[in-house]
Structure 1
Amino acid sequence: MTQSRTTRAFISLGSNLGDQEDNLRQARETLSRLPEVRLGSQSPVYLTEPQDVRNQPWFANQVVSLDCGPVWTAQELLRTLLEIEDRMGRVRERDKGPRIIDLDLLLFGSQCYDFPELTLPHPRLRERAFVLVPLRDIAPELVFPDGTNLSEVLDRLSFHVQGRGIFQ
């Protein structure tokens, strides 16, 4: 894979069923085996309370970077993430309900999309400390496509980090 022709993507991994940290490990291993993809930086795993549907187990969350070769588009990567979720046993019974694995495409280079099947940057990225804190761990100087930097976005949120927990 030629370094100058890669696109850096950031993926959020989450799990709140089964062995959550092993689920994240399996997802990372699967991502690392994709053709023309190099698994880059990995944040620590954080424990976070559910945001929308509160009556469910807490999540293990992490963010990783991927260097994607020129064969990859944002749409193809999203399709692949959904296939990985399916193969790992994700069941979509209830929107935002419990899940064995959740893989969200946060950013794909500086690309912006607003389609029903894909919105980039991820539409709730700027609202979620459980994504932004691990993203800061691996890309502290990140600037969003609109020119806003990551630290500015985090400064606008009410949250705190205690040990491995992110509370928002």
Structure 2
Amino acid sequence: MNDVYLSIGTNMGDRLENLQHAVELLKNKEEVKVVSISSIYETAAVGYTDQADFLNIAVHINTSYSSSEMLKVCQWIESELGRVREFRWGPRIIDLDILLYNHENIETDSLIVPHPRMYERAFVLVPLIEITPAPVGKQLQRAHDIIQQMDCEEEGVTLWQASAGLKITQSVN
């Protein structure tokens, strides 16, 4: 089985429902076992900032899929949920990124792992660190080291809903 970490984000429509739906589509894949899901974090947009805030989570899965097959699954989920790529860093109904795939360094025309901007983004690192309290491997150790030096409040990352284990539940406001 392959050990994979994903980042999932959304800033359009019912953001919680988008995250729930993406996780359910992952869980429904026979070749995917969802191991853990982080809390939900609300974050300010990066790059193009004239848009709504994002909800972000990290998901740890085990899968028999190769990295390229897992990329296709992520793209299929985005398509199923209606993702349209209008411009870079623009608003999106859902975004799934492969952060880590085992302890591998992968570079193809369609996939780079570790994710090329992962270590620069608190909105990726905060949920990832939450589900990897005891880092295994150089990539996760680097993520832990970097997040200790970041000011997450200054980076615009706030807890939106505490972890619900393997299930995302409706928040009570």
Q: Does 1:117 align with 2:110?
A: yes
- Indicate which of 144, 159, 163 corresponds to 1:151: 144
Q: What runs of 5+ residues in structure 1 fail to find an aligned partner?
A: 1-5
Identity across the alignment (%): 36
User: What amino acid does structure 2 have at the position aligned with 1:22?
Assistant: E
Question: For residue 75 of structure 2, what is the aligned residue in structure 1?
Answer: 82
Q: CA deviation at 1:114?
A: 1.8
Q: CA deviation at 1:106?
A: 0.5
Aligned residues between the structures: 158
Task: Give the 3-state SS of the residue equivalent to 2:68 in structure 1.
Answer: helix
When the two chains are superposed, the root-mean-square deviation of aligned CA atoms in Å is: 1.7
- Equivalents in 1 of 2:93, 2:146: separation in Å? 29
Question: For residue 142 of structure 1, what is the aligned residue in structure 2?
Answer: 135
Question: For residue 3 of structure 1, what is the aligned residue in structure 2?
Answer: none
The TM-score normalised by the length of structure 1 is 0.87
Q: Deviations over 1:130-155 (max 9, x none)?
A: 11111111112224545844321212
Q: 1:144 to 1:96 in 2, by over 3 A?
A: farther
Q: Does 1:67 align with 2:77?
A: no
The TM-score normalised by the length of structure 2 is 0.85
Question: For residue 23 of structure 2, what is the aligned residue in structure 1?
Answer: 28
Q: Deviations over 1:110-129 (max 9, x none)?
A: 11112231100000110111
- Equivalents in 1 of 2:82, 2:11: separation in Å? 13
Between 1 and 2, higher relative CO (CA 8 Å, sep ≥ 6) is seen in 2
For the 8 Å contact 2:114–2:139, the answer to whether it is kept is no
Deviates more, 1:153-162 or 1:98-107: 153-162
- Equivalents in 2 of 1:93, 1:147: separation in Å? 32
